[in-house]
Amino acid sequence: MHVALLLVVLMANEKTVEVRFTETAPHIDGVIEEVWQQSDSAYNFVQHIPYERTEPTESTVVYVLQDKNNLYVAFRCYAENHKPIACFTTDEDYVRVSIDPFGSKTTGYYFLVFASQLFWDGWIFDDGRIFDDTWEGVWFRGVKVYDDRLDIEIKIPFKSIRYKKGLNEWRIQFMRHIAYNREDDYWTEVLQGEGDMVSRWGILKNIDPQATGYYFELYPEGYVRFDKRYYVARDSVSEEFKPNLSLNLKWDVTPQTTINATILPDFAQIESDPFTVNLSRYPTYLDERRPFFLEGRDIFRMSDLGQDGPVFFYPLEIFYSRKLGKSLDGEVVPILGGLKVTNNAQKWNIGLLGAYTDEFADTTEQDTLYEPNRWFGVFRAQRRFMDNSDIGLHFSGTTVDRDNYNYALGLEGVYRSGPDQVIVQGAFSDHSGKQDWAVSSGYRGFIGNFFTKAAVEIVRDSFDVSDIGFVPWAGRKRLYFFTGPSKVFQEGFLRWFYIAPGIHILQEPGDTNWSKIAGLQINPAFRNRWGLSLDLYAGKYYEADTNYTYRSLDFSMWGLIKGNNINFGCNYNYSWNYLRNFLAYQGSHWFFFGYSIIPPMSIVLSGNLWVEWDTTNTIIAMHPRIRPRLDIRFSADKSLAIFNDILLQTPETRIGETEFINNRFGFLFSWNFRPKSWLYVALNDFRERFGDKLEPVYTIAAIKVKYLIYF
Distance CA 663, CA 454 (A): 42
In the prediction, which pLDDT does 11 show? 45
- Give the closest residue to 626 by CA, choosing from 603, 607, 653, 650: 607
User: Would you state the pLDDT for residue 574?
Assistant: 96
Q: Any residues with CB less than 8 A from the CB of 539 and at least 6 apart, and which?
A: 504, 515, 516, 517, 518, 549, 550
Q: Is the dihedral of CA 467, 471, 473, 475 positive or negative?
A: negative
In terms of C-beta distances under 8 Å and separation of at least 24 residues, what long-range contacts does 688-691 make, across chains too? Answer: 688/661, 688/662, 689/659, 689/660, 689/661, 689/662, 690/232
| Averaged pLDDT, 306-325 | 82
CA distances from 558 to 88, 326, 531, 567, 569 (A): 20, 34, 6, 4, 9
Share of the chain above pLDDT 70, in %: 94
Asked if 626 and 661 touch (Cβ cutoff 8 Å), the reply is: no
The rounded radius of gyration (Å) of the Cα atoms in the chain is 26
What DSSP state is assigned to residue 3? Answer: H
Which three-class secondary structure string do you get for 162-192? Answer: CCCCCCCEEEEEEEEEECCCCEEEECCCCCC
Tell me the C-alpha distance between 397 and 320, whole Å.
Answer: 11
DSSP letter at 471?
-
User: For 271-288, what is the mean pLDDT?
Assistant: 65
Total-model pTM: 0.88
Whole-number pLDDT of residue 214: 67
Q: Are 244 and 706 in contact (CB under 8 A)?
A: no
CA distance 404 to 374: 10
Least Cα distance to 543 among 509, 519, 567, 517 occurs for 509
Query: What pLDDT is recorded for position 372?
Result: 92
The per-residue b/e assignment along 468-486, b for 16 or more CB within 10 angstroms, e otherwise, is: bbbbbbbbbbbbbbbbbeb
Whether the predicted pLDDT of 272 surpasses 60 = no
State yes or no: pLDDT of 334 exceeds 90: no
CA distances from 394 to 87, 398, 402, 429 (A): 44, 14, 22, 12
Sign of CA dihedral 102, 105, 107, 108: positive
Please tell me whether residue 198 adopts helix, strand or coil conformation: helix
Comparing 159 with 271, which gets the higher pLDDT? 159
151 and 27 Cβ atoms separated by less than 8 Å: no
pLDDT 10s digits, 118-143:
999 999 988 988 888 878 889 999 99
Backbone angles phi, psi at 159, to 5 degrees: -70, -20
Dihedral sign (CA 195, 198, 203, 208): positive
| Widest distance between CA atoms in the chain | 83
Q: What is the pLDDT of residue 186?
A: 98
Compute the CA torsion angle 702, 339, 304, 607 (nearest 10 deg).
-10
247-261, 264-278, 675-689, range with the lowest pLDDT: 264-278
pLDDT at 133: 84
DSSP E strand stretches across 322-403: 327-328, 331-332, 335-344, 348-357, 360-363, 368-371, 374-385, 389-401
Phi, psi of 35 (to 5 degrees): -60, -30
Query: Mean pLDDT lowest for which of 226-230, 548-552, 594-598?
Result: 226-230
How do 619-633 and 601-613 pair as beta strands? antiparallel
> How many C-beta atoms lie closer than 10 Å to residue 583's C-beta?
19
- pLDDT at site 4: 42
The secondary structure of 414-453 as a DSSP string is EEEETTEEEEEEEEEEEETTEEEEEEEEEEEEEETTEEEE
Does 554 have pLDDT greater than 60?
yes
Tens of pLDDT, residue by residue over 179-235, are: 999 999 999 999 988 899 999 999 999 999 987 666 788 989 888 989 898 887 667
**Reported confidence tier of residue 420, pLDDT bands at 50, 70, 90:** very high
Domains and their CATH numbers in the chain: 15-205 (2.60.40.1190)
pLDDT of residue 266: 64
- pLDDT averaged over every residue in the chain: 90
What letter represents residue 448's amino acid? G
For residues 202 and 42, the answer to whether their CB atoms sit within 8 Å is yes
In the prediction, which pLDDT does 10 show? 42
What does the alpha-carbon distance between residue 583 and residue 616 come to, in Å, rounded to a whole number? 10
pLDDT tens digits for range 10-36: 444 689 999 999 999 999 999 999 999
